[in-house]
Amino acid sequence: MNCMKPFNVVINLKSGELSPGKRVIRRVSDVKALFVDKEAAEKLIRSGDPLVYEVIYADVPEEEGHLGNCTTIIYPGKVGEEFFLTKGHRHEKLGTAEIYFCLQGKGKLLMESVDGDWEALDMFPGSASYIPPYWSHRTVNVGTEPLVFYCIFPADAGHDYATIEREGFPKIVVERNGEAVLIDNPNRKGC
């Protein structure tokens, strides 16, 4: 029997710092393949390779029955005209859902179902977005401040990054006349 003890983590609702937690960081060089404008990505890498996002995980066993939880902080910025984003993934256990609770900032949650439907939900402080089973998900910071959100998911859900790396999302989010606009992904590959 698993006799793990209950525990708290403390989340700073403004910065997204989660303590104690385990941090993963992604710079432009880690996500450059996701952006359409490769030249702009290389230029950013040469000029200091800025941080795109951080994920801070609570220490929970990646086992059935547990709930993984973490904060994600996406910094404001763009590669060319495309806003900073997360790699995006679907869960290895495709039949697992997730909730994203936005604490700070302004974002778009892009999703695609295994049937090829797509959706984009607005993220804003107080929004709690439900990602159903069988939907891949990527988050985009469309504001000028860090986008901070808290995620809860089955701890054994796993991450499949390869499918999205290979195919891309149907839409990308770009800035046009000061607005965040969804347009077709010119690099989208067939499924």
Q: Which residues contact ligand S6P (rule: CB under 6 A)?
A: 55, 70, 72, 86-89, 98, 137, 139, 151, 153, 157, 159
Min separation Cβ 183 and ligand S6P, Å: 21
Q: Which is nearer to ligand S6P, 14 or 159 (CB)?
A: 159
Q: For Zn ion, how many residues bind (rule: CB under 5 A)?
A: 1
Residue 70 touches which of ligand S6P, Zn ion, none (Cβ within 5-8 Å per kind): ligand S6P
Residue 78 touches which of Zn ion, ligand S6P, none (Cβ within 5-8 Å per kind): none
Site for Zn ion in 35-54 (CB under 5 A): none
Classified as helix, coil or strand, 151 is strand
- Closest residue to Zn ion, based on beta-carbon distance: 98
Site for Zn ion in 83-142 (CB under 5 A): 98
Min separation Cβ 55 and ligand S6P, Å: 5
Min separation Cβ 96 and Zn ion, Å: 8
- 8 A C-beta contact, residue 161 and residue 71: no
Per-residue b or e along 43-55, where b marks 16 or more CB atoms closer than 10 Å to that residue's CB = ebbeeeeebbbbb
Q: Which is nearer to ligand S6P, 78 or 136 (CB)?
A: 136
**Residues, the chain:** 191
Min separation Cβ 80 and ligand S6P, Å: 20
Classified as helix, coil or strand, 32 is helix
Min separation Cβ 27 and ligand S6P, Å: 12
Residue 163 phi/psi, 5-degree rounding, is: -60, -45
Q: Which residues contact 74 (CB under 8 A, 6 or more apart)?
A: 52, 53, 84, 85, 86, 105, 107, 139, 140, 141, 146, 147
Q: Taking Cα atoms as reference points, which of 71, 113, 58, 72 lies closest to residue 91? A: 113
CA separation for the pair 153, 78 (Å, rounded) = 28
Residue with tokens 């709690």: 128
Residue 23 touches which of Zn ion, ligand S6P, none (Cβ within 5-8 Å per kind): none
Q: Which is nearer to ligand S6P, 66 or 87 (CB)?
A: 87
Binding site for Zn ion (CB under 5 A): 98
